[in-house]
Structure 1
Amino acid sequence: MLRETRHDQLLRILREEGVLPVTEIARRLEISEATARRDVADLSGAGQLRRVYGGAVARDSAERPFAEEEVDDLAAKNAVAQHASGTVEDGEVVLLDIGTTTLQLARRLHGRKITVVTSNLAVYEELRGDPEVTLILLGGQVRPNYHSLVGFLTESSLRELYVDRLFLGTSGVLPDGRVLDTTDIEVPVKRAMMSSARQVVLLATAKKFPGTGSARICGPSEIDMLVTGRSSDPATLAVFREAEVEVVQV
């Protein structure tokens, strides 16, 4: 295959799938890993993709508005959220991450005698009028486009908390189980959330395998439960099971 043809194919795959490790690039293009690394280096130098640890990611585009993300893949998000809501017990303190799947989860927590802690402004708007739910909104800098709170104030607030479980969102999960996010500024908040929780539950529809993102949140060993779709990549799910993660497909 000609070098230019390989480059065109690689860029097309990354636009469709967001991020790929070098091993997968080599397999898809039927080339050696050494050639795949050279292609990634060449395209990165030309500004056509971004190199990340062990692979490559499509150049970042403008972040999609929250309203667009909310209706995308909605049936799958609803299925994941429905199961997740059933794991919450009365009296628990739960932490809801940013994102649209956690918003669907919040919509299933109305009328529950629980405490919800969140940096998700959409979750706050959903639950603020519910007399049964004790709602704690973390402080921080507002990211208007994605309805979230970030920064050192958010992270500082989380250090003062210990919750029963965190429902964590993601923009993508690599074949080796690395959990990603598309926005670097959100990652420290997510990690602080994980440190504040007794149990970490990752909510990821099948579309998130591999999804998008270049910023690493964590590895599979840092997750306790994964709630995902029935069509999620079996090989990636096997990585989570090998890390002793409870994997639930809905």
Structure 2
Amino acid sequence: MKAIRQGQIQAMLARHEICTVAELVRGLGVSPSTIRRDLADLAARGEVVRERGGARSADSSDADEATPFVEVAEHNRLAKEAIARRAVSMVADGDVVIIDIGTTTRLLARHLRGRAVTVVTTSLTVLDELRPDPATEVILVGGVLRRAYHSLVGVIAEDVLSKLSADLAFLGTSGVNARGQVLDTSLVEVPVKRAMLRAAGRHVLLADHDKFPGAGALEVTGVEGFDAVVTDHQTGQEALEMLADRQVEVVVA
């Protein structure tokens, strides 16, 4: 039984490269402590590499960049879930919706299952959430694969987005500072995010309380470039006032 279960863990990591403990628990139907013991055994044999909050395949060729998604997947999970549930109510049947990479946007995609919408994305985790759903049409934008971020970037992605017309774009962020700059930490993601904004008629930012101010040195756009910001009830008053001063609709989940 143990050997079979550990083989299943390796199979999941081979498919996804990185999995959190929670994802492995859901996939295998066992307890978190069992998963952690199995990961310790597999890591001791050199068959997986432990990461904070989960593990990655030992065969991953992107080891130096393998931690970001795993590290944030379970952080502020309840707030992200509330934001995703609130954001999905903004989508009407028949809409064309652009969904950015990120852990909150992944949850948004999960809540779109069964909806008659078209989803455009550069996120492989969004694809994974919607692939089994026959109701949702998915357009996966091509590009260069960033394994650790489960995303596609580069001029191919930007060019494809420039040819699309969407009703809504849902973007994530690494931070929104006191000056109202929406930030990102990755140089290659910024042009893709800007292309998403240009392709959509309405822009919605999904940002939990830790994103005020969050982190990042690269500006995607000013927060006034968004029609609405969906956040959670723990977001501070100073951040809410900054958004109000810029006449951005604030939706508290």
Which TM-score bucket, shorter chain as reference?
0.7 to 0.9
1:89 alignment counterpart: 92
Does the 8 Å CA contact 1:206/1:228 hold for their aligned counterparts?
yes
1:33 alignment counterpart: none
| Structure 2 CA distance for aligned equivalents of residues 189 and 105 of structure 1 | 19
Render the CA deviation track for 1:209-246: whole Å, top value 9, x for unaligned: 11111111111221100000112122222222222211
Counterpart among 213, 218, 223 of residue 220 in structure 1: 223
Does the 8 Å CA contact 1:220/1:239 hold for their aligned counterparts?
no
Q: What aligned pairs does 1:178-189 form with structure 2 within 5 A after superposition?
A: 178-189=181-192
Counterpart among 44, 69, 72 of residue 69 in structure 1: 72
Does the 8 Å CA contact 1:176/1:236 hold for their aligned counterparts?
no
Counterpart among 123, 134, 158 of residue 120 in structure 1: 123
Q: Percent identity?
A: 47
SS at match of 2:148: helix
Does the 8 Å CA contact 1:173/1:209 hold for their aligned counterparts?
yes
Q: What aligned pairs does 1:38-187 form with structure 2 within 5 A after superposition?
A: 64-187=67-190
Shift of 1:63: 6.6
| Structure 2 CA distance for aligned equivalents of residues 65 and 242 of structure 1 | 32
Render the CA deviation track for 1:137-179: whole Å, top value 9, x for unaligned: 0010000000000000000000001100000100111012111
SS at match of 2:220: strand
TM-score of the aligned structures, taking structure 1 as reference length:
0.74
TM-score of the aligned structures, taking structure 2 as reference length:
0.73
| Structure 2 CA distance for aligned equivalents of residues 133 and 192 of structure 1 | 23
SS at match of 2:188: helix
1:191 alignment counterpart: 194
| Structure 2 CA distance for aligned equivalents of residues 65 and 180 of structure 1 | 16
Shift of 1:65: 3.4
| Structure 2 CA distance for aligned equivalents of residues 200 and 68 of structure 1 | 27
Count of paired positions: 190
SS at match of 2:135: coil
2:203 alignment counterpart: 200
Shift of 1:62: 5.9
| Structure 2 CA distance for aligned equivalents of residues 172 and 220 of structure 1 | 11
Unaligned runs of 5+ in 1: 1-60
Does the 8 Å CA contact 1:180/1:217 hold for their aligned counterparts?
yes
